[in-house]
Amino acid sequence: MKAGVICNPKSHQNRTGHIAFGTPFRSFASPGVVVATPRTRDELTGVLLGFARDGIDLLVIDGGDGTVRDVLTRAGTIWGDDWPRIAIVPSGKTNALALDLGVPADWTIEQALAAAAANHSVERRPVEIERRDDAAVLRGFLFGTGAFVSATALAQRTHRVGAFHGVAVSLALGWAVAQTIFGRASSQWRAGEHIKLRAALADGRGEVAVDDRRYLLLASTLNRLPVGLKPFGTPRAGMKLLVVDAPPRRMIRAVPLLLSGSESPWLDASGYRRFDADAIDLTIDGDFILDGEIYPGGDLRIRPATPIRFVVP
């Protein structure tokens, strides 16, 4: 088995210096395995092209959700519809994909290689975001706009004071809810963003159209989210959406129901709407977040990407 390993030297756990920083490549203890530590996205593209020329069977990503996003975005134009298997070694501040896959926080490269040799894998489809103005494509697993942008900024502040993973998510969520509940209707938290959306529902069940201000829009292909949150309802495969009216109503009652996965019709009637979608056409003036990174809005096409086999324990 030929394997290529991408180690992000900037990932939270990798800053302890257990990887080689002096050269972009180094030999690994296992035969046929090469480790790269690219520091820029252009270097990352070069490394991935080298792995493709070598015909690797397994791509190991040692980093967090942001590293996974960058690798999938750059690798999509290289492998197209014929991806190698991918293993995640979670070493970032957030590792939502690893949690969804059931990969333990202390998983090592050696364990990932052993699981790949034993053919342990599951299929996941990233979210693919295409800009209509320049055809640039991003790939990740959790998209959000509206209040999600501000909430993500809060989570990143908690990182700076030493809170990570589920703790950071919980702190940011609690502060965002408090700001929304107690803020004025005209505040940044409550006023929302203008969203123009047309979503083709899964299995040909029609479509949903929105052209108004909305507090929040989330889309994800993850089955599970950190700290047991279930904003999309019952965990399931496929691309799922949550759209919340602005200003959000009855949040004190709604938030516990929403985050616990309640299927109560009251949520939908109160402006907390969930959908399963095959594709989304979206126009937003504000920014959006993909796996922790902020990007400018515009005219976007969002859909599930090519299925990828991910190695699991």
Convert the pLDDT of each residue in 55-84 to its tens digit. Answer: 999 999 999 999 999 999 999 989 988 999
What token pair was written down for 87? 């293993």
148 by Cβ neighbours in 10 Å (0-12 / 13-18 / 19+) ranks as buried
> How open is the CA angle 59-62-68, to the nearest 5 degrees?
75
DSSP codes, 41-55: HHHHHHHHHHHHHHT
Name the strands in the sheet holding 3-7, side by side, starting at the edge strand that comes first in the sequence.
25-27, 33-36, 3-7, 58-63, 85-90, 308-311, 121-124
Residue 96, SS3?
Answer: helix
Convert the pLDDT of each residue in 250-290 to its tens digit. Answer: 888 988 898 899 999 999 999 999 999 999 999 999 999 99
Q: Which residues pair with 299 in a beta bridge?
A: 283
Average pLDDT, the chain: 84
Q: Quote the radius of gyration of the chain (alpha carbons, Å).
A: 20
| Residue 291, number of CB atoms within 10 A of its CB | 28
Residue 261, SS3?
Answer: coil
Q: Report how far Cα 169 is from the mean position of its chain's Cα atoms.
A: 14
Of 267 and 39, more confident: 267
What whole-number distance in Å separates Cα of residue 211 and Cα of residue 201?
17
Where does the chain have alpha helices with state H?
A: 41-54, 65-79, 96-101, 109-117, 147-160, 165-182, 188-191, 251-259, 265-269
Convert the pLDDT of each residue in 160-188 to its tens digit. Answer: 433 334 444 544 555 465 556 555 555 66
Convert the pLDDT of each residue in 24-38 to its tens digit. Answer: 344 455 678 888 989
Confidence of residue 158 (pLDDT cuts 50, 70, 90): very low
Mark 172-211 as b/e (b = at least 16 C-beta within 10 Å).
Answer: bbebbbebbeeeeeeeebbbbbbbebebbeeeeeebbebe
> How open is the CA angle 118-121-126, to the nearest 5 degrees?
155
Domains of the chain, first to last = 3-124 (3.40.50.10330), 142-290 (no CATH)
What's the pLDDT score for residue 25? Answer: 40
Confidence of residue 39 (pLDDT cuts 50, 70, 90): confident
Residue 229, SS3?
Answer: coil
Query: β-strands 58-63, 85-90: how paired?
Result: parallel
pTM of the model: 0.87
What whole-number distance in Å separates Cα of residue 212 and Cα of residue 119?
47
Nearest-10 crossing angle of helices 147-160, 165-182: 130
